[in-house]
Amino acid sequence: MKVTNTAAAIAAYVLCCRDLVSAGPVQKRGVLDPLFEITTLGGMTFKISQVPNKKFYGQRKGRGSMAIARAYSKYGAAISDDLLSTIEEILKELGLLGNDGAGNNTTADPQGEVAAVPQMFDSEYLCPVEIGTPPQTLNLDFDTGSSDLWVFSSETPSIQVMGQDAWDIEQSSTAKLQTGESWAISYGDGSSSSGNVYLDKVSVGGVTVQNQAVESASNVSVSFTQRPDTDGLLGLAFGSINTVKPTQQKTFFENAVSDLASPLFTANLRKAEPGNYNFGFIDTTEFTGQITFVPVNSSSGFWQFTSEGYSIAGSSAVSAPHEAIADTGTTLLLLPQEIADAYYSQVQGAVNDVSGAGGYVFPCSASLPDYTAMIGSHQAVIPGDFINFAPVDGDTFEDATTCFGGIQASPANFPLAIYGDIFLKAQFVVFHGGNNELGFANKPL
């Protein structure tokens, strides 16, 4: 693919390369939910278990720089010229960014990328979703930081499809085009995805919505074209940020919630092993102690909550109230700058290498302290070894001397911290749509 400038080439690439985990067989179950004193026998429940995706294409080196650039781009924050230059050098070294001789930067075919071990940098999770009649199964990214269900389809130009399974609209007898409706998502790198809107039958784990809005991509940004196993996104934030115009559409969860035994879903992501999502029930074997529920401010369309402060290495709590988002679609834990600074002041040799790696780095031999987020009465502990995210100057932790931190600063002028997978892999999280709450509990790690 040809692009016309360095920034576009790099920004297009940084969104595309993520470790993938896909979902395995689902299981329906009914349980007694002691937290809400109801017996979940009258509605549907299902579990989606994650398994490693063996077809992942990605790179080891530069994972930290890529991760922070992806997060900033997702929320429309500017990526600094220094970070773009750093990523350019990484891609050139990996043979993934070159020059066509006419001054235009090019990105390599993703089939030539170096395969990464999913468990090392587990940062994206895919789940099977059935669409249409007869059902067509696509692997979608469940994302609590967005609200569109969009897919590669028979309307997607063939040049933009690079290994993805596409929804064949004409093969679905229940697909209904919504004339006059369209969707478009823009990203911080200047790219976008857009297309038409259909209503069709969508099933996840045996729960079916008959007239779910399915957004068919007639244009896909390079950032998604170069992710060969991601067939689209299933947004699990609130419908108020759905991009369909002129009529916003409800998310799958919002449409399915009345059929669920309890109006909630849970995320139990894991470090270096498969995790799962549960819909309609809380599995009491997946967490320890009690679940602490806190109010959600959904006015921005996100699962937004307040963290009252933090502690480092088990020290006394520091009051530092800040608003945050629980986002399964972001890899890192992005905190206010002063909190990130406070954390790395406790890590020997750590430096904020903004002009190089794009954020905080430290000697791989350093011992990282635990970080504890204070959320209501809950103390959410993220072990230090979870925070050692990726090597900077080597392909593996064993051959690297410098490592990139899983805690980084949230974008300047962005009002919310982003509690991504570094945080979520250490916690059991309940997304309660009935009470508009988030629940947090510790779990076996």
CB 373 within 8 A of CB 307: yes
- The pLDDT, as a whole number, for residue 272 is 75
44 or 314, greater pLDDT: 314
Tell me whether domains 6-59+94-264 and 287-442 share a fold: yes
H or E segment at 194?
A: strand 192-204
Three-state DSSP at 7 gives: helix
d(C-alpha 277, C-alpha 279), whole Å: 7
Q: Which of 19, 141, 143, 231 is catalytic?
A: 143
d(C-alpha 260, C-alpha 224), whole Å: 31
* Beta strands 207-219; 149-151: pairing state: parallel
Which band of pLDDT confidence, cut at 50, 70 and 90, is reported for residue 81? confident
Which band of pLDDT confidence, cut at 50, 70 and 90, is reported for residue 415? very high
Closest among 417, 366, 382, 359 to 312, alpha carbons compared: 382
- The pLDDT, as a whole number, for residue 398 is 83
- The pLDDT, as a whole number, for residue 54 is 41
Q: 333-357, pLDDT tens digit by residue?
A: 999 999 999 999 999 999 999 888 8
83 or 314, greater pLDDT: 314
Which band of pLDDT confidence, cut at 50, 70 and 90, is reported for residue 216? very high
Closest among 249, 250, 207 to 433, alpha carbons compared: 250
Q: Which of 33, 307, 353, 421 is catalytic?
A: 307
Closest among 139, 406, 436, 441 to 290, alpha carbons compared: 441
Residue-averaged pLDDT of the chain: 81
Q: Tell me whether residue 311 is one of the annotated catalytic residues.
A: no
H or E segment at 184?
A: strand 176-186
Q: 354-390, pLDDT tens digit by residue?
A: 888 889 999 999 999 999 999 999 999 999 999 999 9
Q: 19-28, pLDDT tens digit by residue?
A: 333 333 333 2
Mean pLDDT, residues 221-244 taken together: 88
d(C-alpha 438, C-alpha 99), whole Å: 48
CB 143 within 8 A of CB 329: yes
Q: What is the dihedral of CA 235, 238, 244, 250, to 10 degrees?
A: 90
Give the pTM: 0.83
- The pLDDT, as a whole number, for residue 296 is 98
All residues at 6 or more sequence positions from 316 whose CB lies less than 8 Å from its CB, including other chains: none
Mean pLDDT, residues 23-35 taken together: 33
Domain ranges of the chain: 6-59+94-264, 287-442
Cα dihedral sign, 163-168-171-175 = positive
H or E segment at 122?
A: none
CB 216 within 8 A of CB 150: yes
Which band of pLDDT confidence, cut at 50, 70 and 90, is reported for residue 78? confident
Q: 93-150, pLDDT tens digit by residue?
A: 655 454 444 444 444 332 212 122 222 344 455 788 999 999 999 988 889 999 999 9
Residue 143 vs residues 147, 282, 325, 393, 397: alpha-carbon distances, Å: 8, 19, 12, 30, 28
First to last CA, the chain: 42
Domain over 6-59+94-264 is classified CATH 1.10.645.10: no
% of the chain exceeding 70 in pLDDT: 78
- The pLDDT, as a whole number, for residue 42 is 56
Q: Tell me whether residue 33 is one of the annotated catalytic residues.
A: no
- Write phi, then psi, for 82 (nearest 5 degrees): -60, -45
Which band of pLDDT confidence, cut at 50, 70 and 90, is reported for residue 420? very high
Q: Among 3.30.70.1730, 3.30.450.90, 2.40.70.10, 3.40.50.20, name the CATH number for the domain at 287-442.
A: 2.40.70.10
Q: Tokens at residue 243, please?
A: 């991009």
